[in-house]
Amino acid sequence: MGAHNRSLGAALGFCLLAGPAMAQDASGARGGAFARAICARCHAIRARGASPMREAPPFRSLAERFPIDDLADVLVEGVERRHPAMPDFRLAPAEAADLTAYLRTLRR
C-alpha cells in the first residue's frame, strides 16, 4: 500500500469513527439555534445566568432534573402551559432531537 493510500485510509477511518460525534455536534448546534430563536426570551438557555422570566426554569436545570430522552418524548407529545406566558407547543421529532442534543451540552 502506497503512502497516499495509507493516508486516505487513515482519513476515511477517522471520518467513520468521528461521524456520530460530528452528527451529535451538528444536532446540538441546531438545537442551540432553536433555543436562541424560540426559547431565550423567557428561559436562560446557557450554562449560567438567570432566566429573563422568573417563572421559566433555566434550561440547564431541565438538563439536570429530567432524563433527556424522556424530555424528547414530552416535547414531541406536546407541552402544555406551565404559566400564563408559556405557549402550548409540540415539536417535530427532529426538532426535539436537536433541542435535547443541545440540552445534553448543558449537563455538568
Other Cβ atoms closer than 10 A to 22: 11
pTM: 0.71
Q: What pLDDT score does 100 carry?
A: 93
Q: What pLDDT score does 31 carry?
A: 94
Q: What pLDDT score does 93 carry?
A: 94
pLDDT digits (tens, 9 = 90+) for 5-45: 344 444 334 343 434 444 558 888 999 999 999 999 999 99
Q: Which residue has the cell 407529545?
A: 77
Other Cβ atoms closer than 10 A to 51: 18
What is the average pLDDT value for the chain, to the nearest integer? 77
pLDDT digits (tens, 9 = 90+) for 75-95: 888 877 666 777 878 889 999
- Any idea where the domains of the chain sit in the sequence? 3-105
Cell of 50: 438567570
